[in-house]
């Protein structure tokens, strides 16, 4: 999976790795394993940093996705966290709700209009 980080022709998001069901069947660990730092930076670098980011308009809490991606692409996770916290104080709840909303920001992303996969 690490090889895809430097793959220049990748147009879609990295698929999330999934935890082994046998290892998590007796606990509450996550099913999808989060990106590594390198994968997160590479994924954030795909963002077009639109001048009028429709992903923010599509978000029910108006989260600054663009600002977050911009900071993560610079490997500046502290700033990315601060940008998200400016509009959203319930990050844990959002982390659980966003996937259930079927990616409203992803559906609005201009990359989807071009037939490409939006950033995750």
Domain ranges of the chain: 14-113
Q: What is the percent of the chain where pLDDT is above 70?
A: 84
What CATH code is assigned to 14-113?
Answer: 1.10.1060.10
Which has the minimum average pLDDT: 4-18, 20-34, 36-50? Answer: 4-18
Tell the residue number behind the tokens 């104080």, with chain if given.
89
96: which 2 tokens?
């659980």
Which has the minimum average pLDDT: 2-6, 100-104, 105-109? Answer: 2-6
The count of other CB atoms within 10 Å of the CB of residue 1 is 11
Q: What pLDDT shows up at residue 37?
A: 94
pTM assigned to the model: 0.75
Of 21-25, 28-32, 56-60, 116-120, the range with the highest mean pLDDT is 56-60
Q: What pLDDT shows up at residue 12?
A: 57
């Amino acid at each position: 999976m690490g090889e895809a980080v430097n793959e220049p022709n990748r147009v879609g998001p990295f698929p999330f790795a999934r935890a082994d069901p046998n290892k998590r069947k007796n606990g509450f660990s996550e099913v999808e394993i989060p990106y590594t730092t390198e994968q997160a930076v590479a994924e954030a670098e795909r963002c077009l940093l639109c001048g009028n980011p429709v992903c923010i308009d599509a978000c029910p809490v108006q989260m600054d996705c663009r600002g977050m991606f911009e900071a993560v692409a610079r490997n500046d996770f502290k700033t990315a966290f601060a940008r998200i916290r400016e509009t959203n104080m319930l990050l844990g709840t959002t982390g659980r709700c966003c996937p259930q909303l079927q990616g409203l920001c992803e559906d609005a992303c201009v990359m989807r209009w071009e037939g490409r996969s939006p950033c995750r």
